[in-house]
Amino acid sequence: LLMLIVCQTAIAQSKTAEEVAAKHVERLNNIVQLTAEQQVQVKTIVLASTKEIKHLKENGQSTPEERRAIKEAERQKIKELLSDEQKAKLRENHLHHNLEGHDTSKVHKRADHQKSEANKNYLYEKRAAFEKKLSAPEKEAIDKARMILPTQLKGKEAHEALSEEQKAVRKEHRKKIHALLKPIVKEHKKELEEIRANLPERPKS
């Protein structure tokens, strides 16, 4: 898990907010055919929210609840820009994917399980090779990060069940982990990007 966090940190630092925003505009435009003015407006909205999330992550202050709130606000702003016809196309696209997912849920679950196992095997192999390249202080830093890594929560309900004190503790732990890993990510960025680029596709469910 920690190895994947390190890889994701490296990729997050290499992928700019502008690239994220441009990709979002491209996907939306393929569905609802945005006007030139709408494309500029959507990019501005996504750019702002992406930068906000990146800023929180860089300071070790990002939580799933905060990210969901930012993305929800982003979606609402974008919807306000769309015409009724475009909104209908968007709903139709979502409905199509939902129905398709329902009809093939068992197939998707099996595929997701296979992808998950492939990810684990790949990361075990790459972690062993990567750790051989680390210096003694870097290994010590990773060991410290492992010690304070918060228990992974599954589902929105699990996050909402946390008390404010528990959320604060988890946020502080993430901040410490970020500080420990940042120098390692910077020093080994190229190797980590290669590992992440070749990672089997992650399950979508």
- The predicted-structure confidence for 124-158, as pLDDT tens digits, reads as follows 777 777 778 889 998 888 888 877 776 666 666 67
Q: How far, in Å, CA of 48 to CA of 40, rounded?
A: 12
Phi-psi sector, 33: left (phi>0), alpha (psi -120 to 50), beta? left
Residues 6+ apart with CB under 8 A from 162: 153, 170
Q: How far, in Å, CA of 115 to CA of 204, rounded?
A: 10
CB atoms within 10 A of CB 201: 10
Q: Which helix (H) or strand (E) holds 146?
A: helix 136-148
Q: How far, in Å, CA of 101 to CA of 108, rounded?
A: 8
- The predicted-structure confidence for 69-78, as pLDDT tens digits, reads as follows 899 999 999 9
Q: How far, in Å, CA of 5 to CA of 13, rounded?
A: 12
Asked if 45 and 37 touch (Cβ cutoff 8 Å), the reply is no
The length of the chain in residues reads: 205
Which range among 92-106, 149-163, 174-188 has the greatest average pLDDT? Answer: 174-188
Residue type, 124: Y
Verdict on whether the full-model pTM lies above 0.95: no
Q: How far, in Å, CA of 187 to CA of 197, rounded?
A: 18
- The predicted-structure confidence for 49-62, as pLDDT tens digits, reads as follows 988 888 877 676 66
Average pLDDT, the chain: 77
Q: How far, in Å, CA of 9 to CA of 194, rounded?
A: 13
Packed helices 164-187 and 189-197: angle between N→C axes, nearest 10 degrees:
110
Which range has the worst mean pLDDT, 30-39, 93-102, 129-138, 184-193? 93-102
Q: Give the model's confidence band at 104: pLDDT under 50 very low, under 70 low, under 90 confident, else very high.
A: very low
